[in-house]
């Protein structure tokens, strides 16, 4: 079955960088758009970024544009989120999620279990 497993979260100081990974299995990874969605503690869901099936197009939320970079390695079934210039407001559980098509628009199904990023000095 489809499985998504995030890793790389932790505690990081403001202004520093962190890279999240999402290991995918159970489907043809190279055929689907992939997303990152985050959820601050006790808050709602916020879409962060999407990368289409071949990595040629990427879209970002305004809140992370210019600081975060989404990428993928189709040969290793892995999605990444490189986060730089981190701010306390980036503190959240970060989920990766599979899109329903190869492109950027779509619903998210399934989701990984999430990885917690805490930005604090």
Partner 1 sequence: EIVLTQSPGTLSLSPGERAIFSCRASQSVSTSYLAWYQQKPGQAPRLLIYGASNRATGIPDRFSGSGSGTDFTLTISRLEPEDFAVYYCQQYGSSRMTFGQGTRLEIK
In 3D space, the residue among 76, 75, 70 whose CA is nearest the CA of residue 57 turns out to be 70
Q: Quick check: 104 binds partner 1 (CB under 8 A)?
A: yes
Q: Which is nearer to partner 1, 13 or 42 (CB)?
A: 42
Total Cβ atoms within 10 A of residue 76: 10
Judged by CB under 8 A, how many residues of this single chain contact partner 1? 21
Tokens of 16: 């520093």
Query: Closer CB to partner 1, residue 62 or residue 121?
Result: 62
Q: What is the largest CA-CA distance in the chain?
A: 40
| Helix residue ranges per DSSP H, the chain | none
Quick one: 1 or 13, whose CB is closer to partner 1?
1
Question: Could you list the residues that contact partner 1 (CB under 8 A)?
Answer: 44-47, 50, 59, 61-62, 95, 100, 104-114
């Amino acid at each position: 079955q489809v499985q998504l497993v995030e890793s790389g979260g932790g505690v990081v100081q403001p202004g520093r960088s962190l890279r999240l990974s999402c290991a995918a299995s159970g489907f043809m990874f190279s055929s689907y758009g992939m997303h990152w969605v985050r959820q601050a503690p006790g808050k709602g869901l916020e879409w962060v970024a999407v990368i289409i099936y071949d990595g040629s197009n990427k879209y970002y939320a305004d809140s992370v544009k210019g600081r975060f970079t989404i990428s993928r390695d189709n040969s290793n079934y892995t999605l990444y989120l490189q986060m730089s210039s981190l701010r306390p407001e980036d503190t959240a559980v970060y989920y990766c999620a599979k899109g329903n098509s190869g492109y950027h628009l779509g619903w998210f199904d399934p989701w990984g279990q999430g990885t917690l990023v805490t930005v604090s000095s």
